[in-house]
A = this chain, B = another copy of it.
């Protein structure tokens, strides 16, 4: 890798493998795959320096379809593997693919700690609110009452909000995307890649077989403008087809509310300005939910701090500067005596 290589810009197609894609026809995973391939091409990623790590689930089959290095590991544990890879070779660009079951049920703890430690990874959590691969049981993000093979009378579990959880875990980058929003998703993923540290991206993904249209409320193309808000740092949180809706902080209720510009004397000044670095705002934005609020998409929080792999490496380098690595001397440290 020392000789100068001519870097030819790759296209999304260059990131395809020869393996037949084995998701159900119509599965949202196809669109995400395309979005990732676009993001890789757009950001000039090199296949040989890129690693996709996943757990187990439909979503976790992802690495087989990307012509980079890939490790399809075991259920829920991808963050451990990814951490090991990154600590061994911090130059690699490591992506983590997981599902709501893989990443939040069995793998919730590893997700928690990889976010807390801030390991430099791009983490994509495909949230279809269901266990796809095992044929449709409810997951930690499933809505209450959902009838599935393991909840024939309706689930009584309270669902988790992935982004709220991520913030609670101390994530320094939290974003959200929608499988079929192929205009926005590659941009969000590019931001994730650019961010040094753990970038958490929840992607709403439609499982056409076991949980079809669960996000239909706000993914419907026709009404999307009124049901989604795409955040931009430093800009007022205004949305809607007529660009007339906005998010305001109501100090009395101590909560966000949707207001209409021009109604009840609401002006632009009332609308909150998105501040990517404000954790309190991020919590509020992650908590609000359709249909009362718009689905919040794009980069919700981005507030970098030193990444774990960087700190670990830096500490080692610092010690190396002051201590010589002399193995024989190590063995002879402390009290020794000579027999002759």
**Which residues of chain A have a CB within 8 Å of any CB of chain B?**
105-109, 112-113, 116-118, 140, 153-154, 156-161, 164-170, 249, 251, 254-255, 275, 278-281, 283-284, 287, 305, 308, 311-312, 315, 318-319
Contact yes or no, A280 B251, CB < 8 A:
no
Contact yes or no, A165 B112, CB < 8 A:
yes
How many copies make up the complex? 2
Q: Tell which of B107, B113, B251 touches A249, judged by Cβ atoms closer than 8 Å.
A: B251
> With a CB–CB cut-off of 8 A, which chain B residues contact A154?
315
A323 to chain B, nearest CB (A): 11
Contact yes or no, B116 A158, CB < 8 A:
yes
Q: What's the dominant secondary structure at chain A's contact region?
A: helix
> With a CB–CB cut-off of 8 A, which chain B residues contact A284?
280
* 20 sampled A-B residue pairs with Cβ under 8 A: A108-B109, A108-B113, A112-B112, A116-B158, A153-B315, A156-B312, A156-B315, A157-B308, A158-B170, A158-B308, A160-B170, A164-B170, A168-B168, A249-B251, A249-B254, A251-B251, A254-B280, A280-B283, A280-B284, A280-B287
Q: Tell which of B158, B166, B169, B315 touches A118, judged by Cβ atoms closer than 8 Å.
A: B158
The CA-CA distance from A134 to B120 in the complex, in Å, is 30
The 8 A-B pairs of least Cβ separation, nearest first, read A168-B168, A109-B109, A156-B311, A108-B109, A283-B283, A165-B168, A108-B112, A254-B278
A24 to chain B, nearest CB (A): 28
The CA-CA distance from A283 to B117 in the complex, in Å, is 20
> With a CB–CB cut-off of 8 A, which chain B residues contact A118?
158
Contact yes or no, A165 B158, CB < 8 A:
no
A217 to chain B, nearest CB (A): 21
> With a CB–CB cut-off of 8 A, which chain B residues contact A318?
153
Most buried by B among A105, A112, A249: A112
